[in-house]
Structure 1
Amino acid sequence: MAGNSILYVGAGSLAHQVAALLPQWHGWALRRTAGSLPQGLQQVLADVTSPVCPGDWPQACPDYVLITLVPAARTVEAYRQAYVEGVRNVLAWLQQHGQRPKRILFASSVGVYGQSDGQWVDEQSVTEPERWSGQVMLEAEQLLVDSGVPVTLVRLAGIYGGARRGFLERVRQGYHAGGNLNRFTNRIHEADAAGLLAHLLQLDAAGTPLAPVYVGVDDEPVEQDEVVRWLQQQMDVSGDPQLLLNPAGSSKRCSNRLARSTGWAPRYAGYRDGYSGMI
């Protein structure tokens, strides 16, 4: 597996952690602004929302492409620019250079599932998102599936850990769920999301066939209110009656059974494991 090349489209913290798990791989990191990169990666400065191909686009075809984009804002327009137009442009740039990677991995979202009655969801579940964010992500997925390049979609739940402390800090400030029960939430620690992506890349490079879709979550779907109450106890804080968290956008329990069947297992099996190291 040594010597595989990879193009990271989006070189944020998640991509950096994947690169750290693949130290023998070399390649490129496409990002909007200059910054430090893991050893073995060359910087490609580009805005994926612009159709203009970067002048320093890799001349050699990367063996793999990993897409981990982050929108500039949580709006329909920003999501469409990052995910739909971004994916469309990257595919066009590959085609423009006559490049066909062995596989593209796309960090998608469990938001493509619209189930909201606490059902269990897996890779075979119907994707009929009601929220605009899931609809946009599903459109980006379809662009990749229709590209003719082998693609694996990794649908991740809410990523936390590292600098992703938003939920934890809101609870510390007094935000609470207001007893809003029966709203299941799903999450995955950033280290486990990176571990799953690196694991799948290594499997494919070793000749193990990948499924077209994997759900990337921890072992413990849990009601939002339960997480809040546990965090309050651990941090010795209480809820402010005037500070209510937005209820979970949907309510479903996502299964990681298929991902686990590949030999991957989350280091942080549930929210207690993950948040304990952050408090």
Structure 2
Amino acid sequence: MSAPSVLIAGCGDVGSRLATQLLAGHWQVYGLRRNVSRLPTGVLGVAGDLFSAQCPADWPTATLDYLVYSAAATDHDEAGYRAAYVEGLQHVLGWLKQHGQQPKRILFVSSSSVYGQQDGEWVDETSPTVAGGYSGRLMLEAEQVARDSGIPASIVRLTGIYGPGREWLLTQVRRGYRVAIDPPLYANRIHVDDAAGLLAFLLEADRRGVALDDAYIGVDDAPAPMAEVVGWLREFLGVTEWADDASVRRAGSKRCSNARAKALGWMPKYSSFREGYAAILEGRC
């Protein structure tokens, strides 16, 4: 069997970790980003701008078995999200068509922001997607672009990604971060290595002929109240002081289920925030 090929469009942090995992499995990996010098060794660079309709000059001419669309917005407003997720995907699909390429499947990296639930209820891939903000609405629009592409598509809705270099919460806890305790504010997380691992798992499953569903949620095994997460981190870090400002209550509270991905055989390496943050703080990831 010849080595499968994949183009990772938007090959940043998650995409690069995915590329590294696939290279270890002898995939041929193309990575599209503006600065290809930052791609992992072994990735075939495609210097391009997802925000431009101009096809990259070094677009691969070989067969592309898979497309992973893993963009990140550079401007966190409505126009920025539309450019990154809706228009960027449309550009890539146009470039594929321009070169007569028809991948076997698209994995579109989306977000749990498509779920607007706020009362701590459990959500899965069959739950209503009634996004309250522009980010969720535009993600849903982009998901539909993927589904309407004429290429089989699976949507991967990642929850709050954390890991090395993604340490906002750790910084806040060290400063005495306060969060509301009652009612509990549930948060959902996935370690960045597990986010990449889920994408790799789905690609390998499809390669073996496993039938994939149209959507998966990427989350660890244990959504938890923010107060519990902060309390555990305070103890681990030895933080004893609290910030002077009042408790913070962020909008939205839901518990995302990974049952569908686990039924397929995927298991997160970091099953909860405890394992993941301990690995970061102990320098093990």
TM range (shorter): over 0.9
Match of 2:57 in 1: 55
> What residue ranges of structure 2 are gaps of 5+ in the alignment?
none
Match of 1:17 in 2: 17
Structure 1 residues 13 and 39: CA distance shift in structure 2, 3 A:
same
Match of 2:131 in 1: 129
Q: Does 1:82 align with 2:84?
A: yes
Match of 2:118 in 1: 116
Q: TM-score, structure 2 length as denominator?
A: 0.93
Q: Distance in 1 between matches of 2:229 and 2:183?
A: 11
> What is the aligned length?
278
* Residue 38 of structure 1, CA deviation: 2.9
Match of 1:223 in 2: 225
The residue type equivalent to 1:219 in the other structure is D
Pick one of 232, 235, 245 that aligns with 1:233: 235
> What residue ranges of structure 1 are gaps of 5+ in the alignment?
none
Q: Distance in 2 between matches of 1:231 and 1:107?
A: 29
Give yes or no for contact 2:110–2:158 (8 Å, CA) kept in 1. yes
The residue type equivalent to 1:205 in the other structure is R
Give yes or no for contact 2:19–2:29 (8 Å, CA) kept in 1. no
SS in 1 for 2:234: helix
**1:158-197 equivalences in 2 (<5 Å):** 158-179=160-181, 181-197=183-199
Deviations 1:131-183 (A, max 9, x none): 11111111110111111111010111000012111111121122221435421
SS in 2 for 1:278: helix
Match of 2:267 in 1: 265
Q: Distance in 1 between matches of 2:211 and 2:238?
A: 48
Calculate the aligned-residue CA RMSD, in Å: 1.5
Percentage of pairs with the same residue: 46
Give yes or no for contact 1:30–1:44 (8 Å, CA) kept in 2. yes
Structure 1 residues 164 and 180: CA distance shift in structure 2, 3 A:
farther
Structure 1 residues 43 and 233: CA distance shift in structure 2, 3 A:
same
Give yes or no for contact 1:224–1:248 (8 Å, CA) kept in 2. no
Q: Distance in 2 between matches of 1:140 and 1:262?
A: 25
Match of 2:103 in 1: 101
Structure 1 residues 239 and 261: CA distance shift in structure 2, 3 A:
same
SS in 2 for 1:129: coil
Q: Distance in 1 between matches of 2:187 and 2:264?
A: 24
Q: Does 1:8 align with 2:11?
A: no
Give yes or no for contact 2:22–2:29 (8 Å, CA) kept in 1. no
Q: Distance in 2 between matches of 1:80 and 1:73?
A: 10
